[in-house]
């Protein structure tokens, strides 16, 4: 999950390193996702997400395509 | 048959103590350092940390079993440096770098570089928002494969 100057730079980097283009989104979207995923990590009441809870965080951030389906992921 | 671990109050206490150490000291501690800070035997800390790794809360170094990742913090230097006040931490990716001010609820400056052209990129998070938002985030790995190789992800 890297930060690029522009979508053109993403495309060039993917071409050079022969990596398939994944998902691209804005920094404000990234900050929103970071808050939703990590915002309560310092709380004594924090508990690991279950897979459905983690998927719900992604869904609420508008990340609903197949690329964002956790399915077999560990957490 | 794989034994399924449950996140216990002891796990929660060790996790919270670890995170408080990282926030206070600006780095992920070695096991001996954490044991000393908590006045507990290193063997107990090692076992507790191993449980947290089995619960996918931490990632450990393969050889030494020291802590490599206590998300969003990273133990070794990376391309993402996050400075807040007098403290600074390493993050493994832009998502985790943004997560540090989000988690701390503090202002921060994130320093990185575009992987394509190597030009420096600086972000400032103030009062929970971005002062500037240059660039775009690229997720190369689909969510279903994030934990196959957490270093690459």
CB A5 within 8 A of CB B117: yes
Which tens digit of pLDDT belongs to each residue from A5-47? 999 999 999 999 999 999 998 999 999 999 999 999 999 999 9
- Taking CB atoms and an 8 Å cutoff, what residues of chain B touch A33? 95
Instruction: Give the pLDDT score at B11.
Output: 97
H/E run at residue B115: none
Which residues touch B16 (CB under 8 Å, ≥6 apart)?
Answer: A42, A44, A46
Nearest CA distance, B97 vs chain A (angstrom): 9
Q: Give the closest of A10, A19, A31 to B102, CB-based.
A: A31
What is the pTM for the complete model shown?
0.90
Instruction: State whether ipTM is beyond 0.85.
Output: yes
Report pLDDT for B39: 97
Interval A44-75: pLDDT, tens: 999 998 888 989 999 988 888 888 998 754 44
CA–CA distance from B130 to each of B7, B73, B74, B124 (Å)? 34, 20, 22, 6
B139 CB-contact burial (10 Å; exposed 0-12 / middle 13-18 / buried 19+):
buried
Paired strand residues for B136: A4, A26
Q: Over the stretch B103-125, which tens digit does the pLDDT of each residue have?
A: 999 999 999 999 999 999 999 99
């Amino acid at each position: 999950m890297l930060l690029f100057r522009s979508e053109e730079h993403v495309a060039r980097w993917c071409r050079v390193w022969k990596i398939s283009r994944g998902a691209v989104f804005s920094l404000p979207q990234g900050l929103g996702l970071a808050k939703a995923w990590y915002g309560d990590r310092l709380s004594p009441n924090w508990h690991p997400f279950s897979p459905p809870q983690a998927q719900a965080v992604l869904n609420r951030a508008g990340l609903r395509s197949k690329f964002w389906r956790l399915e077999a992921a560990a957490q | 048959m794989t034994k399924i671990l449950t996140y216990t109050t002891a796990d929660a206490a060790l996790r919270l103590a670890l995170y408080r150490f990282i926030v206070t000291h600006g780095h992920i501690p070695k096991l001996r350092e954490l044991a000393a800070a908590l006045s507990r035997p290193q063997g107990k800390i090692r076992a507790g940390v191993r449980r947290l790794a089995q619960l996918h809360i931490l990632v450990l170094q393969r050889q030494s079993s020291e802590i490599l990742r206590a998300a969003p913090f990273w133990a070794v230097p990376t391309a993402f440096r996050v400075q807040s006040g007098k403290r600074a931490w390493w993050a493994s990716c832009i998502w985790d770098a943004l997560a540090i001010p989000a988690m701390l609820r503090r202002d921060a400056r994130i320093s990185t570089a575009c992987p394509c052209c190597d030009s420096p990129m600086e972000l400032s998070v103030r009062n929970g928002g971005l002062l500037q938002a240059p660039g775009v985030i690229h997720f190369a790995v689909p969510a279903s494969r994030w934990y196959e190789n957490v270093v690459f992800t």
